[in-house]
Chain A
Amino acid sequence: DQQVKQNSPSLSVQEGRISILNCDYTNSMFDYFLWYKKYPAEGPTFLISISSIKDKNEDGRFTVFLNKSAKHLSLHIVPSQPGDSAVYFCAARYPSGNTPLVFGKGTRLSVIA
């Protein structure tokens, strides 16, 4: 059973506009959430994270929002650039630092010039 869900397999956005990638989770024990970016034939790279005690974290063009009551998080990219075209994975972690990250299936973002 998928504990972290990314229900949109793909998303197309025009350059300069906002990209919004969504993620839902089912396990209320998760307390740390991360977004990774992945290019083809490369390993994922860490993008941004948020702790469950916060509802927003911002880093440059990237902002992650967390809605604990809805068990939902989203990644906003503003403005979107062609280099942002990649697969984005949402991940969640249990409170114990020794447990693995649980990943969603990913969303392929295409930013069109």
Chain B
Amino acid sequence: SQTIHQWPATLVQPVGSPLSLECTVEGTSNPNLYWYRQAAGRGLQLLFYSVGIGQISSEVPQNLSASRPQDRQFILSSKKLLLSDSGFYLCAGSLGGRNTEAFFGQGTRLTVV
């Protein structure tokens, strides 16, 4: 079965500092990969998705960027964090094809102070 490994579980960063969250996939190859953010009262907001190495689609203009340097690696970055970047970040994957579900990592709680 497919597994998403995501780290760290919690992170406290000062405003203006850089960010790098990494996600790796185990148990499958060529997955579609996604970064979501869960902010209080706002559900799961899609930030980025990727259907292959080097291919990134951005859903929300913001202070963040994503990269996919390898098939099973997805990275979320920021050069300078804002207070509004605080939230619960989730990496997810799916196998493509119709009628498939997405599988999620355990998430990273980011607090920008």
Interface residues in chain A, defined as those with a beta carbon under 8 Å from any beta carbon in chain B: 6, 9, 31-32, 34, 36, 41-46, 49, 51, 89, 91, 95-98, 100-106
Contacts and interface: CB of A to CB of B under 8 A. Distances in A.
Given A49-B101, A89-B43, A89-B44, A44 B90 contact: yes
B98 A32 contact: yes
Given A32-B98, A97-B94, A105 B109 contact: no
Interface in B21-69: 32, 34, 36, 41-44, 46, 49, 51, 59
B10 to A, nearest CB: 8
A101 B96 CA distance: 11
B42 A105 contact: yes
A42 B38 CA distance: 11
A46 B107 contact: no
Interface residues of B, number: 32
B99 to A, nearest CB: 5
A4 to B, nearest CB: 9
A91 B46 CA distance: 12
B13 interface: no
A32 B42 CA distance: 22
A46 B106 contact: no
B101 A103 contact: no
A26 to B, nearest CB: 15
14 contacts: A9-B41, A32-B99, A41-B109, A43-B6, A43-B106, A44-B104, A46-B102, A51-B99, A100-B46, A101-B101, A103-B43, A105-B42, A105-B43, A106-B44
